[in-house]
Structure formats: C-alpha cells, structure tokens
Structure 1
Amino acid sequence: QRNVLTCIWELPLELSDDPTKAADLLAYAINRGQKYSVYEKLKTEQLIDSMSVRVDDLGGKEHRFFQITLELTEKGVKELETSVLRCFETLAGYRSTGIPSYLYQEKNALAQLFYQYQSRQDAFQFAMKVGDAMVDETLDTYPRGQVLASHYDPEKVQQLLELLTPESCVFSLLAPSELTGVTPDKQEKWLGASYALRPVPSDWLNLWADAKPHSAIRLPPPNPFVPNHLSLVSTDMPSLPQKIAENEFGIAYYCRVPEFQTPESVMHLHIRSPELKPNPHSACLGSLYLDHLTDVLHPLLASAQSAGLSTRFDLDPFELSLEVFGFSEKAPLLLQEVLKQMPQNPPTLEQFNIYVARHKKDYLNSQKDLAVRQGKELLDSLVVYGKSTKMQKLQELNTITYEEFLDFHKNLFEKTYIEALFGGNLSLQEAESTWLDVQHIFARTPYPKADQPARKVLSLPDHNGPFLISQSIEAQGNAALLLIDQGLFTFEHRAAQEILSNALHEAFFDTLRTKQKTGYIASSSATAIEARLFQSFFVQSNSHQPEDLLYRFELFLETFNEDLATNIPEERFSMIQASMIHSLQTRFRNLREKMNLWDMLAFDEKGNFTFIDERVQALQNLPYERFLALSKEFLQRKNRKRLAVLCEGKLPNPFAYELIAPDQIPSIAKYSARVD
C-alpha cells in the first residue's frame, strides 16, 4: 500500500504559456539533488520514501499545473501537517531569496545538451513525440521554444512563488483509512473508486501560510557535474573490447565504441563477494545494503543525474552491479566518489529499522500484483538457481537482526572479485586509471574464481513430465504460464527458436486474446539462459480458470505444430529470417545499448565478442526444411519438458466446475416432469 500526497496548483495563462518557463525553473531548483534539499530534510525526518516536483501539461500549454508529490511513510501520514509544512518552508525560502540566475543558466545549458545529444529512439515513438509537440510552436522557431527558456525573468518566478499558497492548492491523499481516520463516503463515477472530500483544518492552513524559511533547506549550489568540455577522444581504436587488466582481484575491458561520436561514456562494474550467496536471506541483506547506500548517496547521485550522468545499482544472487552512464567528462569522478562510500558508514539502528519496514511494505504489496506477475516471479525463481520471490524474502527479512546486518556490511568488501568494462568517450589511459582506482578501493583480499558459486539454470527431465504448480493468491484475476525447455543452446537451434517465436507471438495473441477473448494480457517469448533455450506463454484473465487457460495453450500448440508449414510457409519464413538478421545487426541504437551488449558478452559469454556475428550467420545458414524439423521437435508433445504455473486469484463469479459425487445430484438439482 502506497501513501501518496499530491499538492496541485492550477497556473494562470501567463505562467502556463510562459516562454521564460518560470514554473519549470522552480521545479528544477526544488528537484536538484543536494545536501540541503527539502527531499533530504523530509527523508531525515522519516516522513517520505520519495518525492517529485513537476509541471504537468494536462490541458495543453495554456492549461498547466504545478505539482508536488510526496510518497509518505506511515509517520509522514500521521504527521501530515509537518510533511506539507516542509514544502511551504521551501517555497518561503525561495520567496525570500529568489531563484538565482546560475540555476537558470544551468537548466538551459543542460536542456540544450540533452536535446543535442539525445539517444536514438524508435522511429514511430519519435514521430509521435514530434507530432504532439509541433502544434504548440510555429515551425520557424521549433523546437527552440519547447526546449529552452527565452530569458531569465526573476519577476515571473516571484509571481509564481506568490501564487503557490495553501489557499490556492488542491491536496489529494491516497492512504488507508486506518492511517487517515477518514472513511470514504463517495464513489467515483467511472471506475467506482471510493473517496472522501474533507476541508483542510484551519489551523493547518494557518501554519502553512505562516511558514518561514527553514535553515536546513537551502538553494542548490552550482552543479559540479555539469560538463564543461565536450571534446571527443580519438576513435582510432579497435572496434571490439580489449582486455586491459586481469589478476587475482578481477578483470577489466575497454572499448572506444567508435561508431557513436558523442561525449558520453558507460562504465560497468560487477562485484562478487562470498557474502553474496544464492539464497533469499543473502538477497535481503544485499537489498537492505543497497537501500542504505542509495540513501547516503542520494544528494550526489541526484545532482549528477540532473546533469546527465546517471548511476544504476542492481543485485542478483551472485553479485552487486554498478553502472555509470551519461556525459563522459565527470564520469570517472562520480564513479570514484560512489566507490569511496560503498564500504563505509553503516546505518544506525533507527535507519536499519526504517529500511526493514520499507522492504516489508514492498514485499507485502507484491501480493497485490497482477496474477501473471506473481506467476512469472515464481517461474523465474524456479528456472534461475538462487533467484528468490518476494514472499521468500519476506520470510527471511523477519529473521535478520541489526547485528547480523552490521557484520554483512563490514565483510561485504573484505574479499572481492571485480569484473569491469569501460567504454565510450574515454581514452585507454582514462580507463586504465579508473580501473586502478577501483582496485585501490576494493583490492583487500582476492575472492578466487574457484571459490565462486557457478550460475545454474533449470534443466527439466527428458522422460518425465509435463509438470504443474498451482497456487492461490489474494489478487484479482487468474493467470496461466507455460515454460517449454527447448534444450541446450546451439547457434542453429537459437536461430530456429527466434524465427519460430516470432510467428508464435502473433498467432498466440490472435488466438487466445482476439478470437477466444480469454484475457487482456496474452503473450509469448523466447529466451536463452545460461546456454539453455526456453519458450514461454502466459495469459492474465478475469473470465477463465487457470486450468482452462493451460488446456487452451496445449490445444493451440498442437494445432499450430500440426499445420506448421501452413502457418509458416517458406515465404514467411524468409521474411522473418531477414527481419531477425536486420534486428540483430541494427538493434543497438545508442552507446548504452551497445555497451550493455559488450558487458553481456565479456562476462556471460566469456569474452566471445563475435557472438552476434555467429548468431547472424546461423540465421543466414538455416534452411527452411531444417527450421521445420527443429520447430516440430521443440513443440511436439513428445517434448515433455514443460512446466506450468497456475495462479488462481479472486473472481466475483468464476466459471469453474464443481466436483461432486453421483449421489449428490438429488441434493443440488431436481427432476422435472415434461410440460406439454
């Protein structure tokens, strides 16, 4: 259950259709990451989990809204007047100081950089975006007026700040009645949602109206991560990644990626530690650690992100991963600052309890996910060794003590093995220097590769099966998921799987959703995990029972396989084959996508950087008759390597057969005589 407070002000025409973008400048100033922001103050007081400030174009450029959204903790709901007070204290502070010109210049400069170096997008999405935007500006200036503010206008900003008062604000709170003490007494017309309208207490309004600037909430200083130099390093380098270091502490690769002539870089780090184990208990400890780390780093990371330099953390059963991507000039500096913080500053007991409560809420909320999402989470945990469901983590979370977490935090980086990839607008020397910084921070005791647990994937038996797992859930709706194990990876088998999956995806959707109308989500996909091939199918339904859906899956597969040559004639095979080849050769549209590919090939495929070329060659060399033979082998009922997951949720009036005995008929029905 999320607790969300939204404060909305409707802007007058002169502040909505405003070439100086005063409202956007104020939102930028409040959002800008820094140590003395209102976000950090609210977070320190344990009143919020997250916060956003934005300007919404709900009614076009002439009808805009200024909006502050707080995702509140339980304490934040109970102390709602204080949570909102901090926002008005922020506005009061900005009212007294104004928004300085350096923030205007910073925002405008970054807006120009983001437009100039935007990543390649899907052509259709780009056309839609441009089409929507062109109606708001004449072609002789487009898109300058949409991207940049015309000039710095402190009077317009002051006019906006004077408008943002408690009396002119609409407050909306989404939270359980048990927390708010308010029982909904109205029902929304279209979706039937329950709600209540209540006046804001006058003492709250007076408190907020009289708000004074808070000493712990200040204007952000100039952003140190705004790039000053956008020059490109030499592209006279090999097009494939090259190994720049390997020792007992880790391995590092570098690639200039010369096809992308932009001042951007991407850095990947994968940190392995014996403290990270493939079980739910370790997953909880690692997740609590990341929660604390991102809280500590938030001022730094948010400041960098606003300047086009982002950081992403990820945790899997075997390693902690870190990615830094964006404008390249300050990227090594950001990475160094992040790495310095990672082994330091464990949380206090009070902070630890907050993180535990936050995780508990997240894990409990997962029970309200769509049935198909819960089924997929369970299926993924069964297929990938060491992957855990949120319910498994919830059970373990309750057993973790503060002392155990402190031991985990202390030992996490005592013994490590690190895999690194640096690329983009970085020189070889910069990559080598950054790798040395990584080694300097983490190279304490090596974590031998021989001691590291191997990644494993499910391999279903050839002669037993198929298998079925069924579970009841609390969410609305039902779901059925089917996984077919298609055996070990070979380039030829992967090529056949991809072409077959492309045809299956369209036919499955058409049959299960369009024609049979079994559910509003119906999809299928093919994947390769740890050199093993899988095909999956899933449907989310509010009308059909899970068993019924599964039987329809099998009937679809049997019928499709029997008429395989009709469903995929040679002409269609050739079209899909050409499309798959083109997709593999062109799907990496920007530096980050290409670096993600190199990262996967460097460490998952053991440095086989010709992997994509081999896949293309396998597609090119696959004859139609061989494709038919492999496809029939994948789908035939003789392939009993199948695992189904059925999730039965709550339906108001399910169409389900009730099991009875013959002698029960007289008690549930009656015999009627013929009526002439």
Structure 2
Amino acid sequence: MEITHFKENRSLNSSVMGLKEQWNNVIKSEEDQRMYRVLVLDNGVKVLLVSDPKTDKSAAALDVHIGSMSDPWELPGLAHFCEHMLFMGTEKYPSENEYNQYLSEHGGSSNAYTAADHTNYYFDVTPDAFPGALDRFAQFFVTPLFNESSVDREVNAVNSEHEKNIQNDYWRLSQLERTTANPQHDFSKFGTGNKETLDTIPKEEGISVRDSLLQFHEKWYSANIMALSVLGKESLDELETMVVDLFKDVTNKDVQIPEWPEHPFGPEQCQQIGYIVPVKDIRNLNITFPIPDLHPHYRTAPGHYLGHLIGHEGPGSLLSYLKAQGWVNSLVGGQKTGAKGFSFFVVNVDLTEEGIEHVESIVTAVFQYFNMLRKEGPQEWVFEECRDLNAMTFRFKDKERPQTYVCALSEQLHYYQSEEVLCGGYFLYDFKAELINMVLDYLTPDNIRVAVVGKTLEDKVTEVEKWYGTRYKLEPIAEETLEQWKNAGLNDQLQLPPKNEFVPTHFDLLKHEEKASEVPELLSDSSLSRVWHKQDDEFKLPKAVIYVEFFSPLAYLDPYHTNLLQMFVQLFRDALTEYAYAAELAGLTYSLSNSKYGLTLNIKGYSDKQIVLLEKIIDRMTTFKVDPKRFDILKDAYVRALKNFNADQPHQHVVYYTSLLLAEHGWTKEELLQATEDLSVEGMEGFIPRFLTNLHLEFLIHGNVTKEQALDLATLVEEKLTSVSSTKPLLPSQLRREREFQLDDGCSYIYQAENSVHRSSAVETYFQCGMQGTHQNMLLELLCQIFAEPAFDELRTKEQLGYIVWSGVRRANGTQGLRIIIQGDKSPEYLDSRIETFLHKMGGKLEEMSEEDFIKHREALAARRLERPKRLSHLTGRWWQEITANQYNFSRDTIEVGHLETLTKKDVIEFYQNFVRNDADKRHKLSVQVLSTAAGGAGDPNSETKCGIEPADGLAAPPALTRAVVVQDIPSFKQGLPLFPLMQPLIPLPKGSKSKL
C-alpha cells in the first residue's frame, strides 16, 4: 500500500503573544476528520492541539521528560512522590480535592504515571467543562503548593502502592533486572519508592523529604521538556488561545533532557544467567541483549523488522519449532524500550515443565534463528509487507478514547518531528539493510543475559533482592555453553515466514439500505439460532465484528465439564496459532472463550476476508483432534493457573467470593482443581462431539456487512455444524440464564477468608438493591456518582486506608447494588467500619447538598452514559452484552438518561434511606473480608497494623441495628435464600418461529 501524506498549511514564527512557533502540516489519515496543530510556546512547551467538534469528551495530557531514573540516589521514589504531590493543591486552587471534585461533577476522570524517563499526567471531562478543568490542570505546573500537611499522607499512598506490588511477579522481575544492572547506572534505582526510602531513612539521615521534593521540582519541572496534548470541541484557534493563556507562565529553566549513552548492561553484566523463584507458579525464560536506542531510526525501524520475524508464530517460526519440541507455550520477541540513549532486544518464552530442563537448547534454537536471518540477509519484501500493513493500520485506525489518545500523543511529541507526531509510530520509509545487520550484530552470545524463572529453582537461589524480597542467584554462563551457542549453526526447521495471504485488498464501504435501523435487527429466529445484524453507518471503516455464542447446558454442568470446556478452548487456540497469526498481522483477529453458558467466538477487523477465517475456525472446531502431547502440557498450565489464584491480589479475592456467595451456581477454585485429576485425552475427545450435538447459536454481526452477507455467515456456521456434528437445537426450557440469590430485608452478613501471600487485607462491602430496571438503575448510578469522589477523598486521601479504594455499581444476573472495595494494611473489620462511617456521614451530605450541586452530578452522569464508544468493536460489545443478558435494550443509554433527567434529590435520598442507611428496612448488606495472615499483615499477631489509626473526624462507626451473621459455609448459606426471578427481555422475541430476510 502506498503511503500518502495528508497535509495542512504550515506557518512559523507566530506573532501571537506567548507563542513562538506554529505548524499546521500534521500528517493525518484520510479517514481522520479531526484538525491538528502543533505549537511551541515562548517558554518551550510543545503542544499538540486536536479539534474534534463531534467529541463527547475533552481531554488533555502533559508529559514531563523526566522520571524515576533522575531520582537522587539518596531518595529512591522521589519522582513518583512528586507525581503524587502535584495533585495536592495549587496557589489558585488550594483545596486538595478541588481538581478531582471538579472532574467528578463534570463526568471526568484523571490519573498519572511515572516511568523511567517520563512522568505523564492526564484527564478527561465533558466538553463544556473543559476550560475549567484545563485551568486547574495547568496550575499543577505553574504554582503547585506541595503542602507540608500532605507529605506524610502521600508517602503512605506511595507505600500502599508499593505494598500492592510486592507479591506481583511482573514488578519483582522488573526491579530485579534493575538491581542486577550496573550499580553505578541510574537504571539500577528503585523507582517506585516506599515509606522506608521516603520517610524512615531520610529522617534517620536528617534529610527533609519536602525540601528535597521542592529541589527536585525546581531542577527538573521545566517548560522546555514538557509536551502537552489537548483534544476539545473548540476550533484550533480557540484551543490555541486557551492553551497559550494557561501554560505560558510555566517556568522555562532550559533543562537538558537526561540521556544515558552508556548501557546499564555493560560487559560485566552480560554473559550471565539468573535463576529466580517467583511468587506464582510460572515458568519463564527471558533472554535479553543490550542494544543502542533505536528511536532515532524510527523511519527505518530495524527493531520492528527483527521483532516481526523473531516473534512470528506462523510455519517455520521459532515458536512453532520450540512448541513442537514440547518446550514452550508462547513467545514474545522484539525491541523493548529502556530510556533515552539505550534499549533492549528480548526473546521471552513461557516454559513447559520439560522446557525448563532444556534452557540451553532453547537458547541454541534462538541463535540458530538469528543465524538463519544472517544467512538469508535482510529481505526487502519483508520490510515492504511490514510497511504496507503499518500504513493500512494508520489509514483505518480506530478512534481511541480521548484520554488514551492525548496520553499517547503527549509522549510522542518528544520523539517525532512536528508533522509526524501522529504517523511516526506507523510509517516506515527507508529499507536499510545495514541498520538491520547492525542490530543483529548485538544479538550474540557475548552480549547475552539469561533469566530462568520457576518454582523448581528453590535449591539454586542464594540471594534476596532488597526491595521486593525476590530470591535469586546470578552467575556467569559456563564457557562451554557460550561456545555451544557461538557454534549453534543452522536449523533447517527454521525458515522465513511465507507471504501473508490475509492482507486485505478491498476497502470499499458497502451500500446502505434506506431508512436502516439505528440498532441491531433480528434477521432470523429459529429453534437453532438467532441472527442479529447492524450495518455500520457511524464509524465508516471497512471493518466488521462477528460474535457467535454456542450455548450449551454442558458448559457449567459440574466442575469436570467446566474444566473440559476450558481445556478445549486452550487446545483449540493452541492448534490454530500458525494459521491465525497471519490474519492477526493483517488486522483480522479472533478469540474463543468459555463461560457458564458455553463458547463465545469473536472475530473482528477488516471485513474483506472474515468469512475465510470464520470457515477455517468452524472447520477445525467440528473436526478437532486432540494432540496428546499438547494436552498434557496445557493441562499442566491450566492446573498451575488455578493454583495461582491464591497469589492474586486480595481485592480480586473479595470480588470472587462475593460472586460465589450470590450466584445461583459457582464452582470454587478448589473444586475445579480437584476435578482436573479426571481430565484425559479420551475424555476430551468424547466431550467435544457431545458438546456440539445440542446447541443454541446466537449471532451478532455488525459493521461493513449487508443483511444478505450476515445471513450467509450464519448459514455457513449452521450448515457446517448440522452436517458434520449433527447439531440439533436445545429445548426452550434449556435456554435459561443464571439467577442471583436474594438477601433478606434488614440483613447483615459477613464472609471471612484468609490470604497468606500478600501483606494487604481487603473488604468488599456490598448493599444489594434489588433487580435492574430503568428507574432503579438510574437511582443507583446517581447515588454512586455522588458518592464516588468523596469516598476516594475520605477513605484514601484523608484516612489513608489503602491504595485501592473503589466505589460503584455491582451488576450481575439481573440484580444490582452498591459496592465499596478497599485494599490496605488495616484489618478488614476496621475497613468495613470506616465504610459504614462514611456512608452514615453521606446521608447528611445528601440532605445538605444544594440543588445546583445535585444537578451537576445528574448532568455528569448523563454525559458519562451518553458518551459514544469510539470504536466499532466497543459498540458491538455493548450490544452483545444486551443479547447475552437476554435484555435486547440496544438503546439503553438514551432511554435511561431520559429517565435520569426526571429524578430529583428527594428520589435519591429516599433510595439511600431504603437501601443504604444503617437502619433501613430494605438494607441487604454483605461484607466479604479477606484477612492477610502473611508476615506483617493485619492477621499476623506481631503486626502493628491490626488496628486502624484514629480517624481524623473522630467518629466511630454508627451502631448496627442488626447483628451481623457470619457465613460459615457457602452451600448452607445459599440454601436458606430465595432466588430473584429472571429478567424479562425488553423486546418480546418470537417463540420458535422461523423468519429470514
């Protein structure tokens, strides 16, 4: 595909006060209707303006080209701490929660992150409130307060964030990589920080953290290394005026962006192998080669070229060879970002039980693949295929959420020329074999680092990493092993991939019928299937999304059948990898997943060749043969995944237990694990045809597809199933969805569990509010909208109960309720008591709320609900939820927001008094509590965090009128409760009739 530039006019040296330069020549896709302009302010701030008159959300992001690698050596985590503290008030808006409260009242949200050499701040908000939000945002970088009163609390917040990550293998491995780098290099620092580095040690050494914070900010937060991206409904000129006015006063200190031309992995850090014991039962082999920073070569992208080949999953690929040996399940290869001046090339694989015993042979195969690439030499046709696929992706790129979009663009402003800020990460211009060979020259045994991760390495490890406690051992690679790799030679099973036959060739949009429905229509309804269809007239891209549900009562019949279906999904995806990978590269992806109701097949991407992929999938499904070797390997992976649940975060555990307590049917992880003992190849081979024998099919086809084509797709699936698998329809009585248990009026239940892995405990306090319906839905959502920001401000910012504090709606199986989740170092009972106190106080706040503030919240909720999905697939997914819930309320947002506008403050107060207030007759409370028994956790007898600190308000939890009942046994608990009825569909469906276009 030829690369086309779409340019606007260009002008430089603007005469606007505060503005130095202006570019209007930003290259954009011909499908992109937004307008763009790049500015450089007098103070050096780079700005990308995005004008989108149709946007229903405005957004902005500012990226400071400084991060944790610039922390002072004596204060690890200071850049991250600075990120936290910037939110704590400014001279113009001194209140700590002014910014978040404003966003909450105007349907917005915000966040930030600190990376190695970047810190990024971003938000979104309703378009009408954008000027006010951008004003508050700008003040962070003009006059932040860094109040002394906020320091201790935000140190605790940083520490809670670190505590959350301590038992996370991703964070542990990432820090271990840094710890084993050159100890004199900034890369080796502990970037997150914790209470020890930001409070305990500095106090012992007489260092004022606040003074150091002010010095860090004064040194690094300079306008000339800041990049701002804003997206709004205003014109470019209006956005320009707004931005120049708000950001022209950011101080320019003429800072030089830090650069590290010396690699953190020098000769002393290479030719080493590390053995690491993980928290979860995972097995990985991570191979790393230090390479130069390749970003200056983005127009040629040699790292992308090599990553495309090494990470390929088709015939002749490195992955296919290693899977055939029974050594790996997956492989990721390619360039990994470091910081300005250096990067890495990695080959990471997920090892099988046998594979961890063949590490040297796997690395040998990696070098054999490199040798094949050297022998074949850089191939221009491979480069051209990558170039054309990237150009196609850019041309037909889906819209992103404004917040996500500006976040990425603000960082890209640092790296690409002004006109290439949108396309720089996509377009490939020049094929330069010498650059590809230059990178290949770094991929040698002399330049290698190897890390082996697995539980079986317990006997090898002798060292403990300081910040996360990771146990490991690092040693030189044996000379004979290095020689073996240097003489790896060639492997005739490793070859370059074939040309991609899935690259689409037709991009025409199909003609629409007049007066088409705005929502999916039912094209066909029979005893075997329903076919829903909507031809896209909104996104106008040559793409489509197909959903097919294969509904079967066998799917969740018992733990054994549940395991069989899960195993089938894994085996199927594994077997189709080689074929489907080419389609994925060409922008056509599929997923197959299992649920309580059966299988869900999803195909999305370019509509041109979807039917080819669909036919292949159904062919393979109806004739599937189990590979005994892969069955044993994937069964092992599945068993380990079930066991690894114990190491999941405590907040994930409380969500799991809440669902288990309330769902009509639910198999525990222990029950599923026990049932894996019965899994066999013979059982699987018998299960697949039995599963396919009796089904109900539900289709949703949305996009660049006509009604006739949609019916053809559905017919293809039906005919293949009926002819090959003799599929027959289920009985109407078998098409029943799950229900939820109904808690008693005035009840209060507690379910308690323990967690021995994490030092944090967690609670989910849930108030069941009945069945879903337009009126109840909006009352609950409006109550949650009003509570959300105060809950975060009170429970997280002020009381410092934990890094994770979340409040909102829980919906399942037609029911709903208010949930508040906290994960922190206090006991769950204490956390629950603080939730009760907060809810008690909010009753008074509701009464005191002005009508003006109530209307703000109502409008904020309306704006959030009416925000349209930015991608075709997101809208399809929303409609698919309506179908699988048997609701078919495809215009739900419009209908419910229409009702929302009729609600009054009195309605919300009555809802609160009926379902949430402590003495409410219809209060249905379930508190799920996971207590940490790990060393240092709230359940550890020696822990100092068992009791909570005295809250700032001095209030104890209000007395409970109903004594809480402790649930001792889940089945017994359920036996005493009735079930809610099933939700009735909004659209009455024909009963067993057959209708076709």
TM-score calculated relative to the size of structure 1 = 0.92
Q: Deviations over 1:638-663 (max 9, x none)?
A: 234121211112343456798xxxxx
| 1:194 pairs with one of 435, 448, 471 | 471
**Per the alignment, do residues 297 and 462 of structure 1 end up closer, same or farther by CA in structure 2, a change over 3 Å counting?**
same
Separation (CA, whole Å) in 1 of partners of 2:295 and 2:425: 15
Q: CA offset at residue 18 of structure 1?
A: 5.3
Q: Which residue of 2 aligns with 1:7?
A: 287
| 1:48 pairs with one of 323, 328, 340 | 328
Q: Which residue of 2 aligns with 1:460?
A: 742
Task: Indicate whether 1:523 and 2:802 are aligned.
Answer: no
Q: Deviations over 1:152-208 (max 9, x none)?
A: 2233323332331111122223333x33752233x4344443332211122221111
List aligned pairs for 1:389-408, cutoff 5 A: 389-408=668-687
List aligned pairs for 1:166-565, cutoff 5 A: 166-176=445-455, 178-179=456-457, 181-185=459-463, 187-236=464-513, 237-443=516-722, 444-452=726-734, 454-463=736-745, 465-476=747-758, 477-542=760-825, 544-565=826-847
SS of 2:602's partner is strand
**Per the alignment, do residues 453 and 124 of structure 1 end up closer, same or farther by CA in structure 2, a change over 3 Å counting?**
closer
Task: Indicate whether 1:57 and 2:340 are aligned.
Answer: no
Q: Which residue of 1 aligns with 2:313?
A: 33
**Per the alignment, do residues 338 and 656 of structure 1 end up closer, same or farther by CA in structure 2, a change over 3 Å counting?**
closer
Task: Indicate whether 1:624 and 2:902 are aligned.
Answer: no
Separation (CA, whole Å) in 1 of partners of 2:583 and 2:706: 21
Is 1:26–1:99's contact at 8 Å kept on the other side of the alignment? no
Q: Percent identity?
A: 20
List aligned pairs for 1:625-644, cutoff 5 A: 625-637=906-918, 638=920, 639-644=922-927
Task: Indicate whether 1:593 and 2:874 are aligned.
Answer: yes
Q: Deviations over 1:406-430 (max 9, x none)?
A: 2212311111110001110112222
Q: Deviations over 1:84-123 (max 9, x none)?
A: 1111111111111124222211111111122222222232
Which consecutive segments of 4 or more residues in structure 1 shift more than 4 A?
Answer: 13-16, 653-658
Is 1:280–1:392's contact at 8 Å kept on the other side of the alignment? yes
SS of 2:452's partner is strand
Separation (CA, whole Å) in 1 of partners of 2:577 and 2:661: 34
Q: CA offset at residue 144 of structure 1?
A: 4.2
Which range moved further: 262-271 or 37-46? 37-46
Which range moved further: 275-284 or 511-520? 275-284
Q: CA RMSD in A?
A: 2.2
Q: CA offset at residue 367 of structure 1?
A: 0.7
Separation (CA, whole Å) in 1 of partners of 2:307 and 2:477: 24
SS of 1:284's partner is helix
Q: Deviations over 1:254-296 (max 9, x none)?
A: 1012111111110000001242235432221111110100011
SS of 1:198's partner is strand
List aligned pairs for 1:126-205, cutoff 5 A: 126-176=405-455, 178-179=456-457, 181-185=459-463, 187-205=464-482
Q: Deviations over 1:460-502 (max 9, x none)?
A: 3333621111112222121111121101222111111111112
Separation (CA, whole Å) in 2 of partners of 1:13 and 1:380: 47
**Per the alignment, do residues 399 and 507 of structure 1 end up closer, same or farther by CA in structure 2, a change over 3 Å counting?**
farther
Is 2:915–2:924's contact at 8 Å kept on the other side of the alignment? no
Q: Deviations over 1:46-66 (max 9, x none)?
A: 211221012122113x42221
Unaligned runs of 5+ residues in structure 2 are: 1-280, 942-997
**Per the alignment, do residues 603 and 651 of structure 1 end up closer, same or farther by CA in structure 2, a change over 3 Å counting?**
closer
Which range moved further: 625-634 or 359-368? 625-634
Task: Indicate whether 1:108 and 2:391 are aligned.
Answer: no
**Per the alignment, do residues 368 and 13 of structure 1 end up closer, same or farther by CA in structure 2, a change over 3 Å counting?**
closer
Is 2:761–2:937's contact at 8 Å kept on the other side of the alignment? no
Separation (CA, whole Å) in 2 of partners of 1:10 and 1:471: 45
Q: Deviations over 1:348-368 (max 9, x none)?
A: 333322222111111111111
Q: CA offset at residue 561 of structure 1?
A: 2.1
| 1:21 partner letter | A
Separation (CA, whole Å) in 1 of partners of 2:521 and 2:773: 26
Which range moved further: 347-356 or 73-82? 347-356
| 1:413 partner letter | L
Separation (CA, whole Å) in 1 of partners of 2:427 and 2:509: 25
Is 1:240–1:257's contact at 8 Å kept on the other side of the alignment? no
Which range moved further: 99-108 or 601-610? 601-610
Is 2:934–2:940's contact at 8 Å kept on the other side of the alignment? no
Unaligned runs of 5+ residues in structure 1 are: 659-676
Is 1:239–1:257's contact at 8 Å kept on the other side of the alignment? no
Q: What is the number of equivalent residue pairs in this alignment?
A: 653
Task: Indicate whether 1:612 and 2:890 are aligned.
Answer: no
Separation (CA, whole Å) in 2 of partners of 1:17 and 1:154: 12
Is 2:803–2:824's contact at 8 Å kept on the other side of the alignment? yes
Separation (CA, whole Å) in 2 of partners of 1:655 and 1:153: 59
Which range moved further: 49-58 or 145-154? 145-154
Q: CA offset at residue 34 of structure 1?
A: 1.0
**Per the alignment, do residues 357 and 623 of structure 1 end up closer, same or farther by CA in structure 2, a change over 3 Å counting?**
same
| 1:210 partner letter | N
Is 2:587–2:605's contact at 8 Å kept on the other side of the alignment? yes
Q: Which residue of 1 aligns with 2:25?
A: none
Q: CA offset at residue 400 of structure 1?
A: 2.9
